[in-house]
């Protein structure tokens, strides 16, 4: 019966002053992630390690593990078999029980790794390693010792209580969200942008998002789909403040005034400008998009350059060098795929030209934008003023 977990995190990234920031962030993310899980948990930081103790009689093991192994910064979660200290002989019997329950008759190699965190235990760590190793060999004919490359390390930690463990369930790695600033994700209903948000959040960056909605050309269902996607990404990134911009009038005005083959590029430039406005207002340090070189006309090298030209902030495009199938694989892994492929159209698909430019020239694009006059500024102001803000929590 597992009654606690040891949380393993990347040591290299957290040397020096950042260490307690990193650990405190992990503790608070663990508390948050375990809230919806059936059972009661106590998260604590102790001598450079993080423990999750189960304080209720029953709990949902699978759900708890799933919730914890989604947290960026965690490289592994070890389920602990915890016993009271009733002397060395009692420890040996409990270790036998643990091995029998965990490995049965399997033919395996092992190595004992003992750590004594208090000196009043009757044997020191070297003595435990040697003696316990021998006792296990006598008890289990199916096991043998391999000190260099064993099938499992049997860890024994002598603390207040005694922890016995040998399994590590892998976590996602990365860094705890919030330890590396915040960025604004341009989130559409597609496959790519939720993946892009996930990848940047993995590096410890908190997220906000902007969605461009074009009612009545795009439906409430399309908007709900984006809210749902944000809620899935929030499982990993934490809560997301989603800005829903009504983009209809801007789109119609561009449609009226500019050459149709340039519509997508010009629209995308206005999207970036508005997203950057909200990014600055909300103390984000970068923008994120799901663009990938050559995927569509608006993502050729020339198109990306034209879109980028309106931004003063760095724009992160973590999918830039990936094939569609690679992006799809990540979206399946993070559970956004099924929602992304629901058929509701987003605003980019409504106003697309039959033959969009694939090699836009920035001077030509700027000349076309001259047709937009001051009215575009008024429309932008109006769109910003009427933007709806939704706090999206993990679902």
- Nearest distance in Å: CB 55, ligand ATP: 42
Our finding on whether 295 is near ligand ATP (CB under 6 A) is: yes
When binding is defined by CB under 6 A, the residue of 166, 193, 237, 251 that contacts ligand ATP is: 193
By C-beta, is 79 or 197 nearer to ligand ATP? 197
Query: Nearest CA to 121 among 133, 110, 132, 111?
Result: 132
When binding is defined by CB under 6 A, the residue of 187, 274, 279, 304 that contacts ligand ATP is: 187
**Residue 92 corresponds to which tokens in the numbers above?**
């040996």
* Cα end-to-end span (Å), the chain: 29
Task: Annotate each residue in 249-288 with x if it binds Mg ion (CB under 5 A) or - if it does not, as one string.
Answer: ----------------------------------------
List the interface residues with ligand ATP, window 327-366 (CB under 6 A). Answer: 346-348
In this chain, which stretch among 127-135, 164-172, 181-189, 223-231 interacts with Mg ion, using CB under 5 A?
A: 181-189
Please tell me the count of residues contacting Mg ion according to CB under 5 A: 2
Angle at 383 between CA 213 and CA 378, to 5 degrees: 140
By C-beta, is 157 or 346 nearer to ligand ATP? 346
Q: Which residues, 6 or more positions from 11, have their beta carbon under 8 angstroms from its beta carbon?
A: none
When binding is defined by CB under 6 A, the residue of 157, 208, 291, 369 that contacts ligand ATP is: 291
In this chain, which stretch among 74-82, 187-195, 244-252, 293-301 interacts with Mg ion, using CB under 5 A?
A: 187-195
Q: Which residues, 6 or more positions from 149, have their beta carbon under 8 angstroms from its beta carbon?
A: 109
When binding is defined by CB under 6 A, the residue of 2, 65, 113, 296 that contacts ligand ATP is: 296
List the interface residues with ligand ATP, window 242-281 (CB under 6 A). Answer: 271
- Nearest distance in Å: CB 346, Mg ion: 5
**Residue 390 corresponds to which tokens in the numbers above?**
């939704």
When binding is defined by CB under 6 A, the residue of 73, 76, 290, 318 that contacts ligand ATP is: 290
Task: Annotate each residue in 310-329 with x if it binds ligand ATP (CB under 6 A) or - if it does not, as one string.
Answer: --------------------
Handedness of CA 12, 110, 168, 162 (dihedral sign): negative
Our finding on whether 190 is near Mg ion (CB under 5 A) is: yes
- Partner whose binding site includes residue 296, from ligand ATP, Mg ion, none (CB under 5 to 8 Å by kind): ligand ATP
CA distance 236 to 33: 9
Which residue spans within 289-373 are E strands per DSSP?
A: 315-316
CA distance 148 to 303: 54
Whole-angstrom CA distances from 271 to 16, 206, 276, 383 are 40, 21, 8, 11
Query: Nearest CA to 230 among 198, 199, 205, 202?
Result: 198
Residue 213 near residue 245, CB atoms below 8 Å: yes
When binding is defined by CB under 6 A, the residue of 191, 200, 201, 266 that contacts ligand ATP is: 191
In this chain, which stretch among 55-63, 65-73, 108-116, 184-192 interacts with ligand ATP, using CB under 6 A?
A: 184-192
CA distance 313 to 315: 6
DSSP single-letter state for residue 282:
T
Our finding on whether 232 is near ligand ATP (CB under 6 A) is: no
Angle at 34 between CA 29 and CA 38, to 5 degrees: 175
Residue 387 near residue 223, CB atoms below 8 Å: no
**Residue 380 corresponds to which tokens in the numbers above?**
């932008």
Our finding on whether 79 is near Mg ion (CB under 5 A) is: no
- Partner whose binding site includes residue 295, from ligand ATP, Mg ion, none (CB under 5 to 8 Å by kind): ligand ATP
Whole-angstrom CA distances from 388 to 78, 209, 266 are 42, 12, 23
- Nearest distance in Å: CB 212, Mg ion: 10
Our finding on whether 204 is near Mg ion (CB under 5 A) is: no
Return the number of other C-beta atoms located less than 10 Å from residue 112's C-beta: 23
- Nearest distance in Å: CB 263, ligand ATP: 12
| Contact footprint for ligand ATP (CB under 6 A) | 186-188, 190-193, 210-212, 271, 289-291, 295-296, 298-299, 346-348
Give me the residues that bind Mg ion (CB under 5 A), please.
188, 190
């Amino acid at each position: 019966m597992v009654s606690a977990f040891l949380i393993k995190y990347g040591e290299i990234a957290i040397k020096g002053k950042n260490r307690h920031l990193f650990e405190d962030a992990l503790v608070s993310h663990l508390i948050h992630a375990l809230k919806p899980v059936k059972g009661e948990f106590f998260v604590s930081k102790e001598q450079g390690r993080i423990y999750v103790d189960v304080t209720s009689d029953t709990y949902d093991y699978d759900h708890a593990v799933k919730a914890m192994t989604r947290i960026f910064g965690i490289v592994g979660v070890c389920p602990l078999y915890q016993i009271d200290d009733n002397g060395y002989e009692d420890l040996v019997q409990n270790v036998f029980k643990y091995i029998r329950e965990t490995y049965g008759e399997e033919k395996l190699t092992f190595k004992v790794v003992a750590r004594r965190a208090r000196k009043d235990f009757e044997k020191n760590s070297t003595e435990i390693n040697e003696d316990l190793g021998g006792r296990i060999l006598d008890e289990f004919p199916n096991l043998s010792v391999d000190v260099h490359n064993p099938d499992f390390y049997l860890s024994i930690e002598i603390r207040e209580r005694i922890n016995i463990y040998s399994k590590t369930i892998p976590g996602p790695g990365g860094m705890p969200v919030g330890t590396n600033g915040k960025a604004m994700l341009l989130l559409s209903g597609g496959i790519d942008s939720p993946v892009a948000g996930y990848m940047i959040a993995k590096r410890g960056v908190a997220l906000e998002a902007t969605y461009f909605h074009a009612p009545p050309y795009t439906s409430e269902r399309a908007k709900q789909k984006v809210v749902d996607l944000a809620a899935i990404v929030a499982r990993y990134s934490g809560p997301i403040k989603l800005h829903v911009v009504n983009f209809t009038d801007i789109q119609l005005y561009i449609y009226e005034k500019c050459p149709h083959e340039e519509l997508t590029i010009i629209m995308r430039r206005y999207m970036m400008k508005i997203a950057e406005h909200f990014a600055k207002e909300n103390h984000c340090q970068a923008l994120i998009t799901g663009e990938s070189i050559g995927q569509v006309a608006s993502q050729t090298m020339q198109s990306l350059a034209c879109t980028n030209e309106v931004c003063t902030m760095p724009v992160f495009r973590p999918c830039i060098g990936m094939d569609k199938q690679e992006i799809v694989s990540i979206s399946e892994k993070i559970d956004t795929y099924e929602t992304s492929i629901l058929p509701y159209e987003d605003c980019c698909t409504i106003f697309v030209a039959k033959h969009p430019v694939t090699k836009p020239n920035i001077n030509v694009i700027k000349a076309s934008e001259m047709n937009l006059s001051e009215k575009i500024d008024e429309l932008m102001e109006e769109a910003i003023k009427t933007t709806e803000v939704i706090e999206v929590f993990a679902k």
